[in-house]
Amino acid sequence: MSNTHSKSELIVSSTSNFDPINLESEILQLCLQYPNGVSNKILEKSFPNVTLEQRVNALNRLSSLQKIDFLKSLNEPSSFIYRIRDPMNKSNSSISIGNETTDQMERIVYQVVKESGNLGIWIRDIRFKIQLSPTILNKTLKSLENKQLIKAVKSVHANKRK
């Protein structure tokens, strides 16, 4: 019994030393070192003692504080790159109109739409690129349309498609 008790004390002491604010500042420092963005692999190598849940919580908090952006990785389609926001470059940093700010999913969808340029993109292609369910994607697109960040346009040649 004494062996299991000492192990549980060790686990408690290791989790009690975890400081989420410190992790957030270390992630920001890491993002400053990599101006093109930090991948999940770099985060795992840099913070081997931090669990996935702790990393995700820190990244979500930094995103909600508008300190970092989530960008879709070109090398790995199912992962993201985390890049520090540039306060001087408003067009690249955050999507906002007046006092309205967007959530993470809206930023990701907006990024995919923006990459398509003036040619536009089909909803189905967005769904396959981001791997979202149709209901969540439609809700996000509707929100972006209401904020007038994107505009839905019907194709002349394929008028039954969206």
CB 110 within 8 A of CB 149: yes
- Domains located in the chain, CATH noted: 14-94 (1.10.10.10), 96-162 (1.10.10.10)
Q: What pLDDT does 7 receive?
A: 38
Does the pLDDT value for residue 106 go beyond 80? yes
Residues 6+ apart with CB under 8 A from 147: 97, 100, 102
Q: What pLDDT does 80 receive?
A: 82
In angstroms, how far is CA 135 from the centroid of its own chain?
19
**89 against 82, higher pLDDT:** 82
Please give the Cα distance from 15 to 44 (Å, whole number).
Answer: 17
Looking at residues 133-157, what average pLDDT do you find? 87
CB 61 within 8 A of CB 70: no
Looking at residues 78-93, what average pLDDT do you find? 67
**Residue 8: Cβ within 10 Å count:** 10
